[in-house]
């Protein structure tokens, strides 16, 4: 039941739109199909009206997997968040998507090249309860409508470290799923396989990207911003870095959702088609080793 998809950030960056900005959406979709992917997550070049989006994806046989949503639950209650979320949720429902990629961004710094990662926000221990209650209320409602909220832990945000993930999971109800991102976990010092084992019952979506250890070490030592680290190549596709993907997949017995290759790189330095093929091949290999794919 596992399906392998891609995120368009390997072709065109959403946080730095000049990176890959000249690449047409049709090229991204055609190359993703050539690499073997069955679906795509949304990016800023995709139509946001159901019929137009279906028309864009159909020639390439691509499913709409999901799409990132920037939440502001630290600033507004669940009702206000649901009102802001409605257009995105309705689009996902119309496209048959069953997961919603959700991340708190009201005070995040990952999109600011002027701020080093050491300046990332940290939530006070007493603030998790309200944050978690609001998120659970949102997730309860989306789940009623057939779409599971999956929280995306992310560098430069309040949910970055293993302690942050543990606090989030403890503060939220079972309707809140976890998006396991191997790249963000590894860079933050968290073993992605351990994270998979500990939260297997709440993981409903997987992002696979690899980490180049030399670039990560320089970024950590020199305290770079998230975006400068990305431009320097901290992330790459599976099979090109330090993550043991077979071990990660072995920690997800019975998983039957999407596995998405999502590795933001500068396409001028990392030709998207070649890297997409490399990432796809490694995911297939690792899934077979883990016994999740024939």
Which band of pLDDT confidence, cut at 50, 70 and 90, is reported for residue 16? confident
CA distance 98 to 142: 10
What's the average model confidence in pLDDT over 205-233?
A: 97
Which band of pLDDT confidence, cut at 50, 70 and 90, is reported for residue 119? very high
Cβ pair 184, 211 in contact under 8 A = no
- Specify the pLDDT at position 92: 98
Under 8 Å CB-to-CB from 259, ≥6 apart: which residues? Answer: 2, 3, 4, 5, 206, 208, 283, 287
Whether residue 48 is contained in a domain is answered as: yes
What's the average model confidence in pLDDT over 242-254?
A: 98
CA distance 258 to 242: 22
Q: What is the pTM of this model?
A: 0.98
CA distance 100 to 152: 10
How many domains are contained in the chain? 1
**146-183: per-residue pLDDT in tens?**
999 999 999 999 999 999 999 999 999 999 999 999 99
Whether residue 294 is contained in a domain is answered as: no
CA distance 197 to 6: 24
Whether residue 58 is contained in a domain is answered as: yes
Residue showing tokens 């994270």:
195
Residue 22 has a CB neighbour count (10 Å cut-off) of 9
Cβ pair 94, 66 in contact under 8 A = no
- In percent, the amount of the chain with pLDDT more than 70 equals 100
Bridge partners, residue 149, by sequence: 100
Q: At what angle do helices 272-289 and 25-35 cross, to 10 degrees?
A: 40
What is residue 147's three-state secondary structure?
Answer: coil
State the chain's maximal CA–CA distance in angstroms.
Answer: 50
Q: What is the CATH number of the domain that holds 271?
A: 3.20.20.150
Whether residue 8 is contained in a domain is answered as: yes
What is residue 106's three-state secondary structure?
Answer: coil
Cβ pair 219, 248 in contact under 8 A = no
What is residue 42's three-state secondary structure?
Answer: coil
Which residues form the domain of 272? Answer: 3-289
Whether residue 182 is contained in a domain is answered as: yes
Is the model more confident about 232 or about 294? 232
CA distance 15 to 92: 21
CA distance 105 to 163: 18
Residue showing tokens 């997550």:
41
Q: What is the mean pLDDT of the chain?
A: 97
What is residue 164's three-state secondary structure?
Answer: helix
Cβ pair 89, 145 in contact under 8 A = yes
Whether residue 183 is contained in a domain is answered as: yes
DSSP state at residue 184? H
Whether residue 90 is contained in a domain is answered as: yes
Whether residue 175 is contained in a domain is answered as: yes
Which band of pLDDT confidence, cut at 50, 70 and 90, is reported for residue 133? very high
Which band of pLDDT confidence, cut at 50, 70 and 90, is reported for residue 1? confident
């Amino acid at each position: 039941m596992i399906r392998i998809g891609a995120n368009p950030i390997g072709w065109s960056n959403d946080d730095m739109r000049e990176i890959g900005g000249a690449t047409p959406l049709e090229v991204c979709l055609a190359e993703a199909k050539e690499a073997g992917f069955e679906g795509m997550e949304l990016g800023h070049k995709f139509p946001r009206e159901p019929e137009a989006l279906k028309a864009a994806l159909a020639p390439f046989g691509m499913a709409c997997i999901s799409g990132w949503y920037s939440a502001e639950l630290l600033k507004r209650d669940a009702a206000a968040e649901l009102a802001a979320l409605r257009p995105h949720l309705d689009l996902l429902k119309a496209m048959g998507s069953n997961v919603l990629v959700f991340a708190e961004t009201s005070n995040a710094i990952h999109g600011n090249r002027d701020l080093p990662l050491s300046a990332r926000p940290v939530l006070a221990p007493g603030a998790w309860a309200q944050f978690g209650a609001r998120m659970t209320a949102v997730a309860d409602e989306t789940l009623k409508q057939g779409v599971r909220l999956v929280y995306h832990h992310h560098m430069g945000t309040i949910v970055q470290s293993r302690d942050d993930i543990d606090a989030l999971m403890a503060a939220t109800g079972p309707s809140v799923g976890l998006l396991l991102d191997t790249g963000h976990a590894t860079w933050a010092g968290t073993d992605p396989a351990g994270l998979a084992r500990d939260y297997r019952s709440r993981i409903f979506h997987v992002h696979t990207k690899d980490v180049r250890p030399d670039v990560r070490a320089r970024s950590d030592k020199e305290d770079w911003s998230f975006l400068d680290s990305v431009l320097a190549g901290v992330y790459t596709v599976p099979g090109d870095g330090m993550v043991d993907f077979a071990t990660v997949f072995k920690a997800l017995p019975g998983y039957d959702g999407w596995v998405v290759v999502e590795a933001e790189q500068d396409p001028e330095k990392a030709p998207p088609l070649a890297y997409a093929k490399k990432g796809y091949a490694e995911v297939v290999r690792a899934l077979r080793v883990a016994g999740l794919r024939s």
